[in-house]
């Protein structure tokens, strides 16, 4: 049986790439090859950008209310096909159907917020700044934007950029992750039916060469990137050198402080879900728990291990599955190497997820929940991003030590505190140097109407994804000083 090739979406049409080079798209639960994704050429990318540039002026002059209505139509159509898209996402990515469905829900929320463009893009005016002179500020679209996306949220993360760029009057070229292009192809099948003018929204598949071509193209005015810190630094530097606006949401190592007054029966389920949902493959995953006090450490460790043992690992479309596979054989290998490294560094292996078997799926990339106890702050496994279902537990003496560990880490994506003390929570939120803070919430994921925070090596740029930041990133603030004779 011939395996189909994924297509690019250019100027309102599906087109096969001219490139002969492809990569396999693999179901991580079965090992089955689902499709082949082309590695589009630099020449193709430049043609796509030219299409988007040609579509810009007509779209830029389309009234914001008309643009908003098309966004709302997209919202309705995506919601109607949410179950089907979630199934495709689960097959391609490996996450559970519930996780896939909720991911699409977050994409829908971003469309809804972007549809508020008429209010959120509005300028302001002051009469008589001088005699007979008025002055006002307006926000204007810039042109073509590029959206470079990772594998872990194939629907949600492109919608951190796409709806805001388009609603504000820009055109966009979206690059899929070559590991999970099928889901975005399915979503673009919905976009194709909405009625956007040709060339406004485009999709290209390919390797890092596609990203380089987009960063170097003079018509591209801005780059929105989500991915690892090493690649993020490269994207930020290169895009800046080419005069682009750029926002880079990068890697993470997220810590949670567990105070002695926390209510364990409420806290433990949240910790376990925060660490192991999506197989730990998310930038907001809770990677390390810092437990205050000997007694609390002992009780917490026992409770977390017992809860994690109950997690059922399996195919995401099976109804009783709690956690799916990791994305690839290479990811599995990397995670298992991190586990071994943690043990060699002196951590105690309280729960080992290596070597698990899932009945009926011998070809899957399985790593079960893994817990490393008796960790120390100087361990690499504590300080570096693993991006898998591995939780480190450390014993600390007090809140100050926990905050010092958080603030001295190179990343600043997220941190949380579990406590019943308002004073402790207040001190935490004032002193923790991270962009997304949780109080009794393990995954402090901002809603679409708030920006997605991040600092230190977790973010590069000035304006973040989502919320008001997104409207500002995709527009230019223009001041007009006006006098009539």
Rg, C-alpha atoms of the chain: 23
Question: d(Cα 448, Cα 391) in Å, to the nearest integer?
Answer: 28
> 254-439, what's its fold?
Aldehyde Dehydrogenase; Chain A, domain 2 (3.40.309)
Question: d(Cα 162, Cα 181) in Å, to the nearest integer?
Answer: 16
pLDDT over 70, % of the chain: 100
Domain boundaries, the chain: 8-250+458-483, 254-439
Which two structure tokens, joined as six digits, stand for 173? 């070229």
| Three-state secondary structure call for residue 351 | strand
Please give the pLDDT value at position 217: 98
**166: Cβ–Cβ under 8 A, 6 or more apart, which residues?**
59, 67, 71, 114, 172, 196, 200, 201
Question: d(Cα 477, Cα 22) in Å, to the nearest integer?
Answer: 42
Which two structure tokens, joined as six digits, stand for 91? 């097959």
**Residue among 46, 8, 55, 7 nearest 200 (CA):** 55
**Residue among 428, 385, 409 nearest 284 (CA):** 385
Domains 8-250+458-483 and 254-439 share a fold: no
Please give the pLDDT value at position 1: 64
Query: Cα dist. 91→18, 324, 328, 361, 417 in Å?
Result: 27, 10, 13, 13, 35
**What is the torsion angle, in degrees rounded to the nearest 10, for the CA atoms of residue 332, residue 434, residue 465 and residue 112?**
100
The pLDDT tens digits for 227-276 are: 999 999 999 999 999 999 999 999 999 999 999 999 999 999 999 999 99
For residue 214, the tally of other CB atoms under 10 A from its CB is: 29
Question: d(Cα 416, Cα 438) in Å, to the nearest integer?
Answer: 4
Please give the pLDDT value at position 79: 98
Mean pLDDT, range 171-175, rounded to an integer: 99
Q: What's the N-to-C CA distance of the chain in angstroms?
A: 75
Average predicted confidence (pLDDT) for the chain: 98
For residue 269, the tally of other CB atoms under 10 A from its CB is: 14
Q: Which residue out of 7, 278, 283, 288 is catalytically annotated?
A: 283
**Whether residue 223 has pLDDT greater than 80:** yes
Q: Where are the alpha helices (DSSP H) in 195-328?
A: 208-216, 229-241, 264-276, 294-309
The pLDDT tens digits for 369-384 are: 999 999 999 999 999 9
Give the bridge partners for 203, in sequence order: 9, 174
Query: Cα dist. 217→16, 51, 223, 352 in Å?
Result: 22, 13, 11, 47
Angle between helix axes 422-431 and 399-408 (nearest 10 degrees) is: 20
Which two structure tokens, joined as six digits, stand for 247? 């926002």
288 is catalytic: no
Mean pLDDT, range 386-407, rounded to an integer: 99
Question: d(Cα 314, Cα 393) in Å, to the nearest integer?
Answer: 25
Q: Which residues of 421-449 are buried (b: 16+ CB within 10 A; e: fewer)?
A: eeebbebbeeebebbbbbebbbbbbbebe
Are 324 and 94 in contact by the 8 Å Cβ rule? The answer is yes
**Whether residue 332 has pLDDT greater than 80:** yes
Q: Read off φ and ψ for residue 20, nearest 5 degrees.
A: -90, -15
Question: d(Cα 276, Cα 484) in Å, to the nearest integer?
Answer: 64
pLDDT over 90, % of the chain: 100
Which two structure tokens, joined as six digits, stand for 372? 């490393």
Give the bridge partners for 313, in sequence order: 323
Which residue matches tokens 């393990």?
Answer: 442
**Whether residue 2 has pLDDT greater than 90:** no
> 8-250+458-483, what's its fold?
Aldehyde Dehydrogenase; Chain A, domain 1 (3.40.605)
Which two structure tokens, joined as six digits, stand for 146? 């590029």
Q: Which residues of 156-175 are buried (b: 16+ CB within 10 A; e: fewer)?
A: bbbbbbbbbbbbbbbbbbbb
Q: Where are the alpha helices (DSSP H) in 94-180?
A: 97-114, 117-120, 162-167
**Whether residue 146 has pLDDT greater than 90:** yes
């Amino acid at each position: 049986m011939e395996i189909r090739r994924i297509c690019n979406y250019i100027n309102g049409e599906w087109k096969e790439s001219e490139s002969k080079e492809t990569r396999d798209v693999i179901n991580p639960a079965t090992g089955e090859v689902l499709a082949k994704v082309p590695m589009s050429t630099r020449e193709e990318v430049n043609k796509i950008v030219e299409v988007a540039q040609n579509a810009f002026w007509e779209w830029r002059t389309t009234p914001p209310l008309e643009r908003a209505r098309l966004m709302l139509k997209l919202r309705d159509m995506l919601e109607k096909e949410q179950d089907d898209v979630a199934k495709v996402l689960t097959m391609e990515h490996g996450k559970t159907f519930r996780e896939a469905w909720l991911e699409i829900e977050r994409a829908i929320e971003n469309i809804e917020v972007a549809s508020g463009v008429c209010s959120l893009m509005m300028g302001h005016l002051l009469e008589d700044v001088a005699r007979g002179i008025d002055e006002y500020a307006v926000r204007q679209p810039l042109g073509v934007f590029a959206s470079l996306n990772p594998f872990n949220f194939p629907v949600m993360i492109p919608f951190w950029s796409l709806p805001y760029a388009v609603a504000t009057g820009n055109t966009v070229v979206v690059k899929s992750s070559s590991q999970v292009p099928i889901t975005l192809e399915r979503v673009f099948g919905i976009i194709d039916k909405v009625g956007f003018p040709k060339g406004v929204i485009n999709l290209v598949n390919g390797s890092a060469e596609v990203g380089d071509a987009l960063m170097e193209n003079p018509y591209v005015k801005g780059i929105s990137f989500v991915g690892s810190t090493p690649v993020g630094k490269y994207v930020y530097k290169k895009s800046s050198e080419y005069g682009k606006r750029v926002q880079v949401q990068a890697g993470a190592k997220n810590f949670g402080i567990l105070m002695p007054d926390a209510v364990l029966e409420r806290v433990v389920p949240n910790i376990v879900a925060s660490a192991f949902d999506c197989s730990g493959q998310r930038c907001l995953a809770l990677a390390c728990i810092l437990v205050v006090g000997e007694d609390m450490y002992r009780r917490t460790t026992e409770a977390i291990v017992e809860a994690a043992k109950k997690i059922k690992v399996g195919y995401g479309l099976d109804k009783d599955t709690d956690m799916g596979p990791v994305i690839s054989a290479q990811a599995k290998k990397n995670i298992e190497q991190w586990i071994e490294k943690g043990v060699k560094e002196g951590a105690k292996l309280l729960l080992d997820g290596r070597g698990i078997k899932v009945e009926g799926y011998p070809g899957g990339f399985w790593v079960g929940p893994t817990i490393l106890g008796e960790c120390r702050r100087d361990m690499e496994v504590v300080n570096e991003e693993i991006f898998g279902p591995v939780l480190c537990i450390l014993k600390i003496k007090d809140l100050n030590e926990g905050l010092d560990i958080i603030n001295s880490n190179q990343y600043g994506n997220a941190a949380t505190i579990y406590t019943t003390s308002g004073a402790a929570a207040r001190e935490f939120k004032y002193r923790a140097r991270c962009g997304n803070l949780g109080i009794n919430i393990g995954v402090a994921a901002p809603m679409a109407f708030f920006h997605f925070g991040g600092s230190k090596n977790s973010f590069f740029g000035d304006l973040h994804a989502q919320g008001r930041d997104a409207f500002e990133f995709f527009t230019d603030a223009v001041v007009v000083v006006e006098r009539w004779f």
